[in-house]
Amino acid sequence: QTCSWFRRYVPNFANIARPLSNLTKKNVQWFWGPEQQDAFETLRKSLITPPVLKQPDGSKPFRIRTDASSYAFGAVLTQGEGPEEHVIEYASRLLIPAERNYSTTEREALAVVWALEKFRGYVESQEIIIASDHQPLKWLMTIKSPSGRLARWALQIQSFNPKIEYTPGKANVLADMLSRPTNLNEDVPCDIFAVSADFPVRKSKDIRQEQLKDEELKKIIDCFENSSKDENFANWTSRGYLMTQGILYRYSPEVETEEAQLVVPFQERERVLQQYHDVPTAGHYGAEGTYNKVASRYYFPGMRKYIAEYVKNCPDCNRYKPSNQKPTGLLRTPVYAQRFETLAIDLFGPLPETSSGKKWIFLVEDTSTKWVELFALKEATSVNCAKTLVEEVFLRYGLPRRLISDNGPQFISAVMQQTCNFLGIKQDLIPVYHPQANPSERKNRDLKPRLAILVRDEHDSWEEKLPMIRFALNTAKCETTNHTAAFLQFGRVENNG
């Protein structure tokens, strides 16, 4: 039935599916042979290749089809109407034990909240239609005084300003199929496509041995592996713990990821912190930024306090980072809705000249997603700045509507003004004695200590470190957006190794 929904996109669908269709006829003996298996594999491959999957079109409305079963969520992001509807992305996840106790309406509402967050990179600031087979969801959007978690979820849904559309269950086969996995315990081999990188990989048996060395974790593992399941089993499962292939994991509802977090034994905690705070691509972020990176993949009791203490005692951070303890002002930089609609630019330098003759860093920040680009320049001239903006930013991300900068001679020159006027970009200059009004000023402050930590005594090697610093800036969670710039830019959680 699910494959049949796509039959208009699959050439010669009826002929391919004939061995499977024959099995559904009356008085036909069930037999699964090579012919049926070939038909199944051909149709399955068709569902994940063009023209079934297509690129999104920002000028058209998005439709999110959701469904919630007693143990999983399913969602499909589509565009188009009727016969022209096509899929952009599929998504599904299992429910944690606490979520399985929710009522049907609560599970359906949470499925919508989860799907909107999952597809935020596509649908934010766009026209959205939510298609669900649960009619009370429409009531939830109109109730005057919702309470508890339904009230919170209703507010989250309303922030996207979607239109709720009831779709009968028979017509919602895609999301329904994704929310009902056939076997939760079955190991299915999948093709993995990843960027090759030389990160150390721990074997499962090594991870298990390290967990068993921790007395507290050993108690939990023994409880799960004890066939009689003692009285503590319900306690550990209710707190999100689970065993997979002999390794202890934990699901945390506070972490924005569909994956369970590996429970880190006591003796391995410092190694994890070194990987997510000390290495060049981690960027020596503060306690909250480091916690957000670690919490997406790992868990151990008292983790937030442990990380705060670790960062507080980091010698490099204490030596190079300035204090951020300043009184809160009354005014805040406005939050911009559209990506790359408003850009903030600034110059950092002069720095020791590199082997290629570079002495300046040209910083460009998208004020909506906080995405940062860093460019090394030989000279801080208006021609170099304008040329870099056009060739490296505008032609890659599109033309912005506004360009924010200070009153530096490079930015108020005739060259920059003519460039903005010709491209229809409004140029906004911040007050002369108030550099904090430039949104890129904070990134400028973040840049200095990270350069110092990475470069140390090799002062002319700073150009080689820029890609690492840019990666660290773009993969740190921002307090303003509550997401990383990379997530808002690409719509997925980045892999930090």
Domain range list for the chain: 1-48, 62-179, 204-320, 342-490
Question: In this structure, how many other beta carbons lie within 10 angstroms of the beta carbon of residue 326?
Answer: 7
The string of pLDDT tens digits covering residues 351-374 is: 888 888 999 999 999 988 889 999
Residues 6+ apart with CB under 8 A from 481: 335, 369, 370, 488
Give the whole-angstrom CA distance, residue 200 versus residue 192: 18
Decide whether 204-320 matches 342-490 in CATH topology. no
Length of the chain measured in residues: 497
β-partners of residue 343 are: 366, 403
Residues 6+ apart with CB under 8 A from 87: 6, 52, 53, 54, 76, 77, 78, 174
Q: What is the pLDDT of residue 326?
A: 58
Question: In this structure, how many other beta carbons lie within 10 angstroms of the beta carbon of residue 401?
Answer: 13
Residues 6+ apart with CB under 8 A from 444: 346, 348, 363
Burial per residue of 183-198, b for 16 or more beta-carbon CB atoms within 10 angstroms, e otherwise: eeeeeeeeeeeeeeee
Q: What is the pLDDT of residue 190?
A: 56
Q: Which one-letter amino acid corresponds to residue 133?
A: D
The token pair at 453 is: 């930590």
Most distant pair of Cα atoms in the chain: their distance: 86
3-state SS class at 67:
strand
**Distances, alpha carbon 60 to alpha carbons 127, 129, 150, 366, in Å:** 8, 11, 30, 24
β-partners of residue 372 are: 365
User: In this structure, which CATH number among 3.30.420.10, 3.40.50.2300, 3.20.20.10, 3.30.830.10 belongs to the domain 62-179?
Assistant: 3.30.420.10
* CATH number corresponding to 342-490: 3.30.420.10
Evaluate the omega torsion of the peptide bond into residue 327 and state whether it is cis, within 30 degrees of 0: no
Q: What is the pLDDT of residue 200?
A: 41
The token pair at 220 is: 């939990």
| Cβ–Cβ < 8 Å for 493, 258 | no
Q: What is the pLDDT of residue 228?
A: 60
The string of pLDDT tens digits covering residues 86-96 is: 888 777 788 88
Instruction: Average pLDDT across each block of 10 residues of the chain; the chain has 497 residues. List them in order.
Output: 57 69 77 84 72 75 86 83 77 82 84 88 84 67 64 80 70 48 54 42 72 88 74 76 85 71 89 84 84 88 90 80 60 63 88 88 89 91 93 91 88 90 88 57 67 69 84 83 84 69
Give the whole-angstrom CA distance, residue 350 versus residue 336: 31
Evaluate the omega torsion of the peptide bond into residue 97 and state whether it is cis, within 30 degrees of 0: no
CATH T-level fold of 204-320: Endonuclease III; domain 1 (1.10.340)
